Amino acid sequence: MVGVLESSFVVPSDETPKGRLWLSNLDHIAPRGYVGTVNFYNKTEATNFFSVEKLKAALSKVLVLFYPLAGWHVVGSDGRIELDCNAEGCLFVRAQLERTFDGINVMPSNRELEDLFVPSVEMAGSSPVMLMIQVKIFYVI
């Protein structure tokens, strides 16, 4: 069972340029949607193996340099999709999975894998965010 422990927005740690970026014609003909990427890390012997707060702080710094990722998709006055660099942030979800990793089929085309590890667009609410990150921690049951 997946349990969402936290759902929040991580914003840039410093001031970023504001304004809208016009998307190219190639951006408009490409299928819209999010691309899910899944990375797995084994726990190490370190006592502080993983810190969600450190991850969020690092992401906040990265969003200063890559500020468009902290923006939203919007519809411009001419009906074209644009990128509003508004520094509203990216969606960050922290969840836990009460299941062992050994019981999961990690084949690339496995729909279960996507359902378990890729945040859904619905989690962003009405916000057309550019970036969604989900951290899942496995707990041995």
Here the CATH number for the domain that contains residue 90 is 3.30.559.10
Q: Count CA within 13 A, CB hemisphere, residue 7.
A: 10
Nearest to 97 by CA among 15, 4, 12, 19: 4
Residue 88 is assigned to a structural domain of this protein? yes
pLDDT at position 14 is 97
Q: pTM of the full predicted structure?
A: 0.75
Residues listed for the chain: 141
- Domain of residue 79 covers 2-33+47-138
Is 38 a domain residue? no
CA distance 103 to 116: 12
Query: Which mean pLDDT values do the consecutive 10-residue runs of the chain (141 residues) have?
Result: 79 96 82 69 66 92 96 87 92 76 57 63 63 74 47
Q: What is the pLDDT of residue 141?
A: 47
Alpha helices in the chain (DSSP H): 25-29, 52-65, 111-117
The reported pLDDT for the residue numbered 49 is: 66
Q: Is residue 21 part of a domain?
A: yes
Residue written as tokens 């921690």? 137
Residue 41 belongs to some domain of the structure: no
Our count of domains for the chain comes to 1
> What pLDDT is recorded for position 74?
87
Report the pLDDT value the prediction gives residue 135, as an integer from 0 to 100.
82
Would residue 40 count as lying in a domain?
Answer: no
What is the residue type of 118? V
Specify if 39 maps to a domain.
no
Give the number of other CB atoms < 10 A from CB of residue 37. Answer: 8
